[in-house]
Structure 1
Amino acid sequence: MKKLITLILFFIGFVTFSQTDDAPLEVNPTVKKVSDTEYDLIFEISIAEDWHLYSQYNPEDASLPMTISPAEGEAGYTLVGKATESETETEFSEIWGKDEIFFVDEATLIQRITVQDTTLTKITLNLDAQVCKEYCLPFDEDFTFAFSLKGGEVVQTVTEIDDRSKSLSESLKLDLKNEVMLKSEASEETDKKDSSLLNIFLLGFVGGLLAFLTPCVFPMIPLTVSFFTKKNEKKVQSSGNAILYGFFIVLIYGLLSLPFHFLDTLDPEILNNISTNIWLNIFFFVVLVFFAGSFFGLYELTLPSSWTNKADSASGIGGVLGIFFMALTLAIVSFSCTGPILGSLLAGSLSSDGGAMLLTSGMVGFGLALALPFAVFANFPKWMAKLPRSGSWLNTVKVTLGFLELALAFKFLSNADLVGHWNILKREVFIGIWALLALLMALYLFGFIGKKYGKVSMFRVLIGLMILGVAVYLAPGVLQKPTWDQSKLLSGFAPPKFHSIYKQGDNQCPLNLECFKDIDEGLAHAREVNKPVILDFTGWACVNCRKMEENIWSQPDVYKILSNEFVIISLYVDDHQRMLPKEEQFDYIKPNGKLKRIRTYGDKWATLQTANFKIASQPFYVALSPDLEVLNSPEQYTDKETYEKWLKTSVDRFKEIK
């Protein structure tokens, strides 16, 4: 478990550091001539406060050791062993179970080289390592230095692109007319973000209530409440400390989302790249299956016991600081039950468009729901008599959550399948798995499978009947022509209807509408038929895109307008498996000066969206004339009435200018 936490924090750190301009390292390279054929290449590195940089001699199976290597294709010289290093520190890592070697504050490395080609005037070295504090980052790709062997200055190499790449980069910029229409979306977008924050806050709150009803948290209420009611003679002081305890619980869970806010300061495509990354979705699938196993009682998830011991001993300090460490102890001790729910919250937030703010909102909601009972019962201890006693029902809640975790895990596997075009987890297979999980959950609640803890209560049977109803509702979805449509319940979760095991024809467009997957082809067709265009920025793993297509586009009035009045151009920004033809691949310089390699169709369409509309969320709809005049303010995820009105207004505007 400790390695899984390290891996995901490293992934986030990698994305962060590879895009941000505020690096925790400053490198001052110099060169010293030793003889006619030997030179010392010196790296003097300043390390920001609280960061540490790993040595070349760090164990291979721990944090990444530093390496110094020649630039690709260079020859005529050799490196003489590893670089000599300045003073390092050694500390035992509980995560890796061994001593790690690293630099703090500053580091000096001296790499000696021997030159065989005496005509060489310059050599280029790459510096690669890992720098850490709460999370770990690799060096930026720009830590490549050109050393002059003739007394010139050392130069950090700057990435340049060729004329062909410049030309193709320019072609991504659309010659939009009436761009003022794009700016009218700002206030509406703010309202939608506020709504999303509220929704994820409520989901987090529900998650916190579920965590409260687990065997790791519920039994701790009497112990915690008695501490506050007996420790202080004055009721006012006891009440204040209990409220402070609840506040610290909320604060701790809110702070867990803090590292993810580095992502919000970066290139707007970062969060989209994370949420649609195939291997990250597979990682979330494995983690959630692992969490489900812990809820099923196959093993226990715990954080290192030393963390609990240190936090518990610190709680005896007293005062405000002692209460904070009491709250921290609760968070650590209850991790085996709260961890899987928090993992689901993390995965769901990073897979949506809101990013770190959504995650913080969800975490605060989770912490609030977890903190409220402790604060309330500490103020009104007599109310505890009305609480149900701990018993087998707590284990029932935990196992039921395990089934929900397992169902959610297959959503992430479906994302990877769609983005990777593997065609393994088709719509009917996905629905069949969910129906089977619902059936197994119902059988568990009826007491037919799993360990039995006392009698099966009537309430448990009633819940089981509801879950069995869900299984019956889902079951027809595995048929080619189901007896009823499950799209309302499953929209956004199940794969799209055209991703089917049954033959659907060659049309890979939503609802069998005619659509184009290339903007130039779509615009050319629009000019031929003299119709306006909808740029549909979408994604294979986009939940809200599927909801719009299956719940809004499918409405008869909306469908009629889309099929008769518009040319639809669907651009999948997460299509990273389909490579562009070699002659269409190029390098692109982003606004922050970093290089982006456009190699796939997903790279191209994501860059086109951010370059022209300064937004990277999906779905994102833009209404244009064939001559690229903006007909209306862009629209995003919305309701049927709003979307239909948006379509009609766009059509009317096109008729006016036509």
Structure 2
Amino acid sequence: MLKGAVLFLAFAGLAHPQELVHWSLSSDTPKAAPGSTVVLKLTAKIDPGWHMYSLTTTPPDGPNATTVTLADNPAIDSIQVYQPKADHKFDPNFKFDTETFSNEAVFVIPAKLKPDAPSGPITITAQTRYQTCNDTECKRPKKSTADFTLTLDPAAPALAAFAAPPGYALPGAAVPVSQNPDSQGLTAFALTAFGVGLLSIFTPCVFPMIPITVSFFLNQRGGFVQALVFSLGIVVLFCALGLGVTAAVGPFGIAQLGSNPWVNGFIAVVFGIFATSLLGAFEITLPSGLLTKLDRASRRGGYLGTLLMGLTFSLTSFACVGPFVGSLLVSSVQSKGVQPVVGMLSFAIGLASPFFFLAAFPGYLKKLPRSGGWLARVKVVMGFVLLALMLKYFSNIDQVLQTGFLTRERFLAAWFVLFALPGLYLLGLLRLEGIEAGEKLGIGRLLVASLFLIFAFSLLPGMYGAPLGELDAYVPAPSGSASAATAGSSRVAWMKNQYREGLELARKENKLVLVNFTGYSCTNCKWMDANMFPRPEIAEAVKELVPVELYVDGTDAPSEQNQKLEDEKFNTATMPYYVLMGPDENIIAQSGGLTRDPQKFLAFLKTRPGA
């Protein structure tokens, strides 16, 4: 009999699996007037050692995201579901980072009541679907419900307007860190910065210093360590520059800085000054007093002297590496967080690594090419490239202020000239410093000249409406240009800065709304517009939606309203940022940033309520 009782209890446990999450629905408002918004709280108490996943959409090979809805109720017009900040960490069950809740999670649900809802008590039922896991196993997804009784009373006190509690946000679409655009972008940016640092070696201010500096280390006691300390001095200065930029503007300020007309104007002027200097108009030098003091301090010997020597070298090299540093810092302000620091750290390591390498393996010093006319040619070519970059930042101002002066045709025509001139110069057809009359044309010069001329001529089709692929992210869009009519057939008919009008149209046509938070000077936004939306399968999916684009980087009133909407409703400052929502502003899915995966973006566009 005892054995039978044990078996009965065991099978009873199998028939009724243990509840790992216990749900309850409540509100601080037991009574509410019809037409008001009552705030519901759905609490999940999770057993120790277990966790469940957030509302954030997960990849197909990931866990089941928690879903929260309310059962159909004739008294409720619409709802939104806000979730608290989740734990973001590596999940051993799925081998990538996930968003989870442990112990307890409270979801906030503002529910808009219908104005004509009848008085009396109503039962509100929250419906959930969730999956629980621990560090070694996962349970299959489960469904649960929780009820709350609310009394509708026209005489009930008026309720305050809903504001999301601190730390709460609407759910979005996430991808694991291994696939996250930000993490991928940071890695690519760091590698680019490292490569730019290596290229900076071949500038006239740096290359001649290599044999002199390395020979100094070799003649010192502990030369290998001296080279390491010298490299550290370079890293310290450039990292301090990156930290200064981050501290000055903050993580969200960095994201907005890239579209500021004054900032773009300052950058354009600085690039213009560097360009004219490199082309031989004048020479940029740092204050002699500062350099003299640093040089005197570096001669004291020891590791401190070598460290100061690295700082002095970094400052004196700025006349040539300044444009590279400026370009990296400008690229970093298009995103947020630590990119300025990562960029400067990677750049400094790239710049310092040849000194360290040659100090460790001095035999390679003899294989370095000698300084000569090729360094002067590098200066001239850099000057033309910087003039092209200067024009890019003037174009940003033009697009943000919507002046319409630097159209696509004018911009590409100017770039054609600025990239053709270096090619003609290297061929000896344009006489500037670095190439003597009658000097023989080598294979290297011919190859580089050909690359510049090929690139210049590849810009010409873009003036007549042809797509330029990746380059479209950096040049003005066809809209407002003569080529717009040619390109218009493949472009989405966005409702520009018409959020409310888009919702109304979606209501009439019974469609969902695709909201695109974009920017006039946002390169990722332009890339998506030029390379993702024209794809046939994407264009067909967008036809089933009401597309609304909201510019958030302008200086006009609509841009300020759009910034406020993106910040308050979606708690983000990302460009581009795509939101799929119903006409009642019920959010279906969200997707932030650039994606190069058409199938992934198509799956986002085809997301439907309840999917």
5 Å-filtered alignment, 1:123-272, equals 181-182=171-172, 185=174, 187=176, 191-232=180-221, 237-263=222-248, 265=250, 268=252, 270-272=253-255
5 Å-filtered alignment, 1:402-551, equals 402-449=383-430, 450-451=432-433, 452-453=435-436, 454-479=439-464, 481=465, 485-501=466-482, 504=485, 511-551=491-531
Which residue number in structure 2 is paired with residue 379 of structure 1? 360
Alpha-carbon distance in 2 for matches of 1:559, 1:641: 11
> Following TM superposition, by how much is the alpha carbon of 1:445 offset from its aligned partner in structure 2, in angstroms?
1.0
5 Å-filtered alignment, 1:623-638, equals 623-638=580-595
- DSSP 3-state at the match of 1:570: strand
- DSSP 3-state at the match of 2:298: helix
Cα 1:419–1:208, aligned 2, differ >3 Å: closer, same or farther? same
Alpha-carbon distance in 1 for matches of 2:347, 2:490: 36
8 Å contact from structure 2 (residues 278, 380) kept in 1: yes
Alpha-carbon distance in 2 for matches of 1:284, 1:265: 19
- Using the aligned pairs only, state the percent identity: 33
> Following TM superposition, by how much is the alpha carbon of 1:649 offset from its aligned partner in structure 2, in angstroms?
4.0
Cα 1:533–1:611, aligned 2, differ >3 Å: closer, same or farther? same
Deviations 1:126-161 (A, max 9, x none): xxxxxxxxxxxxxxxxxxxxxxxxxxxxxxxxxxxx
- DSSP 3-state at the match of 1:257: helix
Which residue number in structure 2 is paired with residue 566 of structure 1? 545
- DSSP 3-state at the match of 1:256: helix
Alpha-carbon distance in 2 for matches of 1:425, 1:602: 21
Alpha-carbon distance in 1 for matches of 2:387, 2:600: 34
8 Å contact from structure 1 (residues 196, 354) kept in 2: no
8 Å contact from structure 2 (residues 427, 441) kept in 1: yes
Q: Which amino acid counterpart does residue 567 of structure 1 have in structure 2? A: V
> Following TM superposition, by how much is the alpha carbon of 1:647 offset from its aligned partner in structure 2, in angstroms?
3.1
8 Å contact from structure 2 (residues 398, 404) kept in 1: yes
8 Å contact from structure 1 (residues 539, 545) kept in 2: yes
Deviations 1:270-324 (A, max 9, x none): 2343221112212211111111111212111111111111111111222221111
**Among 575, 579, 582, the residue aligned to 1:618:** 575
**Among 263, 279, 300, the residue aligned to 2:283:** 300
Alpha-carbon distance in 1 for matches of 2:493, 2:164: 25
TM-score, length of structure 1 as denominator length: 0.64
Bigger radius of gyration, 1 or 2?
A: 2
> Following TM superposition, by how much is the alpha carbon of 1:611 offset from its aligned partner in structure 2, in angstroms?
0.9
Cα 1:190–1:489, aligned 2, differ >3 Å: closer, same or farther? closer
**Among 327, 337, 340, the residue aligned to 2:323:** 340
8 Å contact from structure 2 (residues 177, 183) kept in 1: no
Deviations 1:357-402 (A, max 9, x none): 2121221121111101111111111101111111111111222121
8 Å contact from structure 1 (residues 497, 511) kept in 2: no
**Among 298, 303, 312, the residue aligned to 1:329:** 312
Alpha-carbon distance in 2 for matches of 1:275, 1:464: 32
Alpha-carbon distance in 1 for matches of 2:255, 2:291: 36
Deviations 1:62-83 (A, max 9, x none): xxxxxxxxxxxxxxxxxxxxxx
- DSSP 3-state at the match of 1:601: helix
User: How many residues end up aligned between the 2 structures?
Assistant: 446
RMSD: 2.7
Give the stretch that moved more between structures: 445-454 or 539-548. 445-454
**Among 604, 608, 615, the residue aligned to 2:561:** 604
- DSSP 3-state at the match of 2:594: coil
8 Å contact from structure 2 (residues 591, 604) kept in 1: no
Which residue number in structure 2 is paired with residue 641 of structure 1? 598
Cα 1:522–1:174, aligned 2, differ >3 Å: closer, same or farther? farther
Alpha-carbon distance in 2 for matches of 1:609, 1:566: 20
8 Å contact from structure 2 (residues 595, 601) kept in 1: no
* Structure 2: runs of 5 or more not aligned: 1-159
Which residue number in structure 2 is paired with residue 353 of structure 1? 335
Deviations 1:137-188 (A, max 9, x none): xxxxxxxxxxxxxxxxxxxxxxxxxxxxxxxx979x799xx97632x53755
Q: Which amino acid counterpart does residue 335 of structure 2 have in structure 1? A: D
**Among 272, 279, 288, the residue aligned to 1:289:** 272
Alpha-carbon distance in 1 for matches of 2:385, 2:370: 25
- DSSP 3-state at the match of 1:618: coil
8 Å contact from structure 1 (residues 473, 486) kept in 2: no
Deviations 1:500-558 (A, max 9, x none): 145749x9999142424221111011111111111100010111000011011111111
Deviations 1:377-432 (A, max 9, x none): 11111101111111111111222121221111111111100111100000111111
Cα 1:648–1:492, aligned 2, differ >3 Å: closer, same or farther? closer
5 Å-filtered alignment, 1:380-395, equals 380-395=361-376
* Structure 1: runs of 5 or more not aligned: 1-168, 578-599
5 Å-filtered alignment, 1:9-24, equals none
Q: Which amino acid counterpart does residue 644 of structure 1 have in structure 2? A: F
